[in-house]
């Protein structure tokens, strides 16, 4: 189980959406396929019609060039799997839900993820029964709890954002679905929170709903169903989460965890898990961009966590200690973000694209010349 450190005085303000940075470049890029391409699609159809009935030959390169460019457009898509196992109603403190809703808001608002591309598995899913607790009294012991049902709307826009319960069957469903959806240009972000367990050594696992359990090896089997991807990022908050790393090492993967395979991770009751809190602060622009280039790489995010995680930076003494882990076998951690790589935000057009752009330009200049002569 993850350990808790109770406290009654907040020393931090819980992250709210109105304190996040405005839409970033990544957010614009992520929205391209759902919003801007709709407009392009309309123009594309117009261009096709123009090709059929064009009267001025100087306009033909415009129509032809645009059709070929639109035919060749392929927008890489970021996907995410967010899991709060919950364990059971008693152990599913509201802190885990707080972290889930915060990272979801960051992906949607700051990074422009499409809601359909973010798979949320939260405790009992869309069941309206009570599934989480809030400690209403710390002193004197014993603690007093109240229970309620986790809201399905994670970002406050009035729609349900939870897709599945946090069960082994639903985890299998999600990764099987992604295996058929993702392409070699797409990225995946996998994020987990809840209590963790250990079978000894680096053999660990994640507690799921109704006290079910998935081992690190079994989790890796599901993840490895996905063979087409540009890169994948993993963040494990649960106790012993570092034990998942040795099962998931692979090409173009960056893996992080709040704790090693041999120790607990910590959270503040009713508030948040400290590692999750600092990771979100890093990627949402509250200090993670150390080099000031406007993007937060995963290496920057990890270094930010090391400096600011109260249980990792020396703020507390034993046993309130965790050692965040990091693995990057392909050496891409300083290049990848939650939505894109730093070398692809401003791609240099391929020679073929330059020729097509040239044809567009020639057509535009030709059209202007004809209009001037008229």
pLDDT for 58: 53
- Cα(146)–Cα(142) distance, rounded to whole angstroms? 13
Instruction: Specify whether the backbone of 317 is left (phi greater than 0), alpha (psi in -120 to 50) or beta.
Output: beta
- Beta strand 231-236 with 187-193: parallel, antiparallel or unpaired? parallel
- How far is 277 from 103, CA to CA, in rounded Å? 9
The answer to whether residues 268 and 223 touch, using CB atoms and an 8 Å cutoff, is: no
> What residues does each domain of the chain span?
3-26+74-341
Secondary structure of residue 116 in the 3-state scheme: helix
Q: Are β-strands 187-193 and 78-84 bridged in parallel, bridged antiparallel, or unpaired?
A: parallel
Q: Peptide bond before 142: cis, by omega within 30 degrees of 0?
A: yes
Provide the pLDDT for residue 340: 87
Looking at domain 3-26+74-341, its CATH architecture is 3-Layer(aba) Sandwich (3.40)
Using 50 as the pLDDT threshold, list the residues of the chain that sit under it: 5-55, 63-64, 66-74, 345-374
What's residue 275's pLDDT?
A: 98
Per the structure block, which two tokens stand in for 39?
Answer: 């407009």
Residues 255-280: tens digit of each pLDDT = 999 999 999 999 999 999 999 999 99
**Predicted TM-score (pTM) of this structure:** 0.76
């Amino acid at each position: 189980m993850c350990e808790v450190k109770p406290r009654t005085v907040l020393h931090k303000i819980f992250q709210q959406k109105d304190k996040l940075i405005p839409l970033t470049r990544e957010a614009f890029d992520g929205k391209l396929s759902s919003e801007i391409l709709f407009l392009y699609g309309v123009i594309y159809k117009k261009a096709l019609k123009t090709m059929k009935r064009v009267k001025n030959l100087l306009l033909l390169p415009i129509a032809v060039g645009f059709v070929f460019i639109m035919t060749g457009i392929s927008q890489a898509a970021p996907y995410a799997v967010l899991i709060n196992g919950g364990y059971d109603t008693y152990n599913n403190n509201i802190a885990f839900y707080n972290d889930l809703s915060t990272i979801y808001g960051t992906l949607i608002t700051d990074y422009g993820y499409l809601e359909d591309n973010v798979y949320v598995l939260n405790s009992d899913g869309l069941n309206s029964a009570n599934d989480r607790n809030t400690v209403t009294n710390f002193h004197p012991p014993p603690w007093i709890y109240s229970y309620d049902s986790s809201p399905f709307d994670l970002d406050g826009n009035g729609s349900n954002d939870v897709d599945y319960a946090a069960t082994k069957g639903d985890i299998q469903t999600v990764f099987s679905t992604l295996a058929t959806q993702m392409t070699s240009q797409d990225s995946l972000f996998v994020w987990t929170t809840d209590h963790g367990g250990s079978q000894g050594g680096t053999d660990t696992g994640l507690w799921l709903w109704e006290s079910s359990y998935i081992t690190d090896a079994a989790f890796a089997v599901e993840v490895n169903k996905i063979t087409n991807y540009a890169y994948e990022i993993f963040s494990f908050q649960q106790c012993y989460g570092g034990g998942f790393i040795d099962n998931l090492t692979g090409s173009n993967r960056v893996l992080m965890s709040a704790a090693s395979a041999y120790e607990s991770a910590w959270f503040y009751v009713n508030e948040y898990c400290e590692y999750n809190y600092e990771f979100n602060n890093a990627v949402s622009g509250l200090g993670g961009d150390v080099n000031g280039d406007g993007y937060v790489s995963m290496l920057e995010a990890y270094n930010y966590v090391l400096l600011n995680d109260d249980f990792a930076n020396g703020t507390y003494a034993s046993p309130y200690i965790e050692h965040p882990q990091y693995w990057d076998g392909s050496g891409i951690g300083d290049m990848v973000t939650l939505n894109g790589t730093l070398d692809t935000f401003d791609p240099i057009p391929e020679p073929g694209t330059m020729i097509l752009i040239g044809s567009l330009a020639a057509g535009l200049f030709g059209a202007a010349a004809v209009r001037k002569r008229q």
